Structure 1
Amino acid sequence: MKIPDRRIELFTGAESERRFGGPATGDEKTMLVAMLDAQRATLKLKCSGLEAELASRSVPPSSLSLLGLVRHLADVERRWFRSVLAGHDVELRFSSVEAPEGDFEGSGPEPEIAAESWAAWEAEVALAESFVTEAPHLDVEGHDAWRGTVSLRWVLIHMIEEYARHNGHADLIRERIDGAVGV
């Protein structure tokens, strides 16, 4: 069956196609990890080819930007995998009680802010990937002040949802920046 041609085909090619090349059958852990990997790759793709524009805001008065999403998702990865599941006593990198919107409001156009943000995101993703790889099963648990006891399974599902929602934001922001659209 051929899918009809659509306007939304800018992000095509090998990199785009690899995002959703994971298994459609198999064990639960493999499938969840593949879907989360695809969502992470989608965020990177939506931000590709941009520099100062990464900090461009969606629409006033919102502080939402692509770089803010990278910083926010670095903090989300850090919270769920490093703090809750791995039990490390760490603070979030970009937001705090004093600056709850620091992930978005601190995302400026300076190259060093973008570099720091991407490095933080990549470090948190690497820790998460390592944790998941080493986990003996999806029922590994951690404690969160908001949700109580959570399993690795719940965190993976939540992370897929978190990325998918924010990748929708990234679609609209990217289109506003340079007209680029795509799945």
Structure 2
Amino acid sequence: MFIDPESDPRADPPPQADERSTLAAFLRWQRETLELKCSGLSPEQLARRTVEPSTMSLLGLIRHMADVERGWFRRGMAQEPATPRFYSDDEPDGDFDGAVADAEVVAEAWRAWREEVEFAERFVADARSLDITFDDKWRGPLSLRWVLLHMIEEYARHNGHADLMREQIDGRLGQ
């Protein structure tokens, strides 16, 4: 196992809770899983591309998820004019391409990710309802409920990638 179950820092979602608490807890668990999969690695290991020809790395996933959080919660739900941190129209894969083995790049990725997670958690906690919406330019009105479910799916998919990358880096198996 990746970690002894007695040492697992993640809190299991509550087996009986209201919808908002349940969704928030499952999303928190997925976020903590990404953090766990990246723990204890050097900048070189975090930046390592282990599934060629893909440019995906654990560091790239951290940067990518910071921008995903920012896009759905800050730009979408909160309607703030927040440009992406790590990619642009000129560099659409900047979140992965810019994930280089440098301690400051790693520190900035974690800072950005934690800031966006903190914003999202506050937004969800303060939202008057899971039924609030914003107009997505491709899908039309999307509810906070939809965004939370989508984020759980997004993290779950990328945590599967993280399992494979971590195994290639140091042999530690997914859990």
Partner of 1:4: none
* Per-residue Cα deviation, 1:38-97 (whole angstroms, up to 9, x for no partner): 000000000000022100002222100000000000000000000000000111101111
Identity over aligned pairs, percent: 53
Aligned with 2:137 (options 142, 145, 150): 145
Determine the C-alpha separation between the residues in 2 that align with 1:158 and 1:24: 20
* Per-residue Cα deviation, 1:72-128 (whole angstroms, up to 9, x for no partner): 000000000000000001111011111110000100000000000000000000000
Give the counterpart letter for 2:40 in structure 1: G
In the TM superposition, 1:80-119 aligns within 5 A as: 80-119=72-111
Task: Give the 4+ runs in structure 1 shifted more than 4 A.
Answer: none
Determine the C-alpha separation between the residues in 1 that align with 2:145 and 2:26: 13
Structure 2 residue 32 is matched with structure 1 residue 41: yes
Give the counterpart letter for 1:70 in structure 2: I
Determine the C-alpha separation between the residues in 2 that align with 1:140 and 1:176: 42
- Structure 2 runs not aligned, ≥5 long: none
Give the counterpart letter for 1:35 in structure 2: F
* Per-residue Cα deviation, 1:115-160 (whole angstroms, up to 9, x for no partner): 0000000000000000001001100111222222111000000000
Determine the C-alpha separation between the residues in 2 that align with 1:92 and 1:10: 32
Determine the C-alpha separation between the residues in 2 that align with 1:56 and 1:14: 29
Determine the C-alpha separation between the residues in 1 that align with 2:141 and 2:7: 37
SS, match of residue 73 in structure 1: helix
Aligned with 2:55 (options 63, 82, 104): 63
Determine the C-alpha separation between the residues in 1 that align with 2:127 and 2:173: 37
Structure 2 residue 46 is matched with structure 1 residue 51: no
Structure 2 residue 51 is matched with structure 1 residue 28: no
Name whichever of 142-151 and 99-108 sits farther off.
142-151
Tell me if the contact between 2:87 and 2:93 (Cα under 8 Å) persists in the aligned partners: yes
Give the counterpart letter for 2:96 in structure 1: F
Name whichever of 140-149 and 30-39 sits farther off.
140-149
Tell me if the contact between 2:131 and 2:144 (Cα under 8 Å) persists in the aligned partners: yes
Tell me if the contact between 2:163 and 2:174 (Cα under 8 Å) persists in the aligned partners: yes
Return the offset for 1:15: 4.9
Q: CA RMSD in A?
A: 1.1
Tell me if the contact between 1:20 and 1:35 (Cα under 8 Å) persists in the aligned partners: no
Partner of 1:123: 115
Tell me if the contact between 2:164 and 2:174 (Cα under 8 Å) persists in the aligned partners: no
TM-score of the pair, normalised by structure 1: 0.91
Aligned with 1:134 (options 109, 126, 143): 126
